[in-house]
Amino acid sequence: MDLLRIQGGGPLVGTVRASGAKNATLPIMTAALLIDEPLFVENVPHLEDVTTTNVLLAHMGVSVTVGDYMVIEADASTITRCVAPYDLVKTMRASILVLGPLLAKRGEAEVSLPGGCAIGARPVDIHLRGLEAMGAEIRVENGYVKARCSRLKGAHISMDMVTVTGTENLMMAATLADGVTVLENAAREPEIVDLANCLTAMGAEVEGAGTSTIKIRGKKSLHGATHRVVPDRIETGTYLVAGAASRGKVTVTHTDPKLIDVVLAKLESAGAKVAQGNDWVSVDMQGKRPVSIDVRTAPHPGFPTDMQAQFCVLNAVADGIGMVTETVFENRFMHVSELERMGARIRQEGHTVRVTGVEKLTGAPVMATDLRASASLVIAGLIAEGTTEVRRIYHIDRGYECIEEKMAQLGGVIQRVPDKAPVTAREIAP
């Protein structure tokens, strides 16, 4: 297993290119299960979660080809089984997204209950109740969701809470249902809009994506298409925060600033000079220390929960006291104890952390606990004095493409090295 060794202390300056959005790519790849023709997906990031999805689809018999420039061709006409086993699902919650398309197209699905980052409840029951409302017969046995139907029927579904994967699953299922499906309290994320655009290219009728009410008129069949994934707004925000926290100047290209306007507003409040064009955005601290800011996460278009950990680091070296409140996931402050190891003055109080800024963090051995927390620890290492070693970086590889190379482009001293086996008591015994 590898770790990231970081020598910090200097400002980050330079330009990096944003990858395609992981959270848009995964549902779009599973949408290939709705058709018997090839789906071509462009701007796909090279990530562990994408590889896992490819392997999962291939396990079902789908023909998956990765071409030049990470263009993926998925052809489900060769599908042989409608089973997503535990061994492939356990590392990635997004695996549940095969449920809706399989059920809608093949009339059956057997999907292991998902795993992924341990950041809190993301109830699958909303997915299941929605599919039952559309006429599916569903049982949960031995850790598997077993679903059957003849043909799904359109339904009016009001979801108890906003769920991104739930909205995506039901959207895909509804595209082949008999009649009209209305999803109330739907998620509004840009990745939902991107999936809707892909489904539309495949011949689906989807209205209202990006609003809380989505209407889908079912079709008897859809067809192949080519779709380019939107840029990763969270990756974009992560590099911009790294620039701001380090008192540097960072530009991100091949992105869409409109997708992170709420993040940019917070960076401006922290003292960053923000500039942007159609496909690029930059922050410039002009060598100044950031100012503490308050952040409260919320479903889109609110402040994204996936940027919360990064702003905790920004506040850790800012001037003043910042309050960071998490309202989306109840267990998403696991980075707090690791930041404390680096000298951060940070205290959790229920769903809020109080961060009193210090002039400098200090390098320390730390451990990644989930995807976004791990990115925050990389930023912390880059701005700290001394050496930081970040372990369990498989979390990072799930969602950040070549993070050490991109941070190096900005002047960060960071390298991926093998993690030596821990010293045992026997080895140090006299």
Q: What residues have CB less than 8 Å from 51, skipping those under 6 apart? A: none
For residue 44, report the phi and psi dihedrals to the nearest 5 degrees.
Answer: -80, 130
d(CA 211, CA 171): 13
d(CA 355, CA 336): 10
DSSP readout, 199-267? HHHTT-EEE-BTBSEEEEE--S----EEEEPPB-HHHHHHHHHHHHHTT-EEEEESS-GGGGHHHHHHH
Give catalytic residues, as residue numbers: 117
Cα–Cα–Cα angle for 162, 165, 169, rounded to 5 degrees: 110
What Rg, from alpha-carbon coordinates, does the chain have?
A: 22
In terms of Cα–Cα distance, which of 65, 67, 106, 68 is closest to 84? 106
- Tell me the CA distances in angstroms from 47 to 97, 159, 222, one per residue in order: 18, 31, 28
d(CA 167, CA 59): 25
Q: What residues have CB less than 8 Å from 258, skipping those under 6 apart? A: none
Identify the three-state secondary structure at position 402: coil
d(CA 75, CA 407): 36
For tokens 């809190």, the residue is 120
Q: Under the phi-then-psi rule, with left for phi > 0, alpha for psi from -120 to 50, and beta for the rest, what region is 202?
A: alpha
Q: What residues have CB less than 8 Å from 423, skipping those under 6 apart? A: none
- Tell me the CA distances in angstroms from 200 to 58, 196, 222, 227, 393, one per residue in order: 25, 6, 9, 10, 37
In the chain, the amino acid numbered 15 is: T
Q: What residues have CB less than 8 Å from 299, skipping those under 6 apart? A: 162, 187, 188, 189, 328
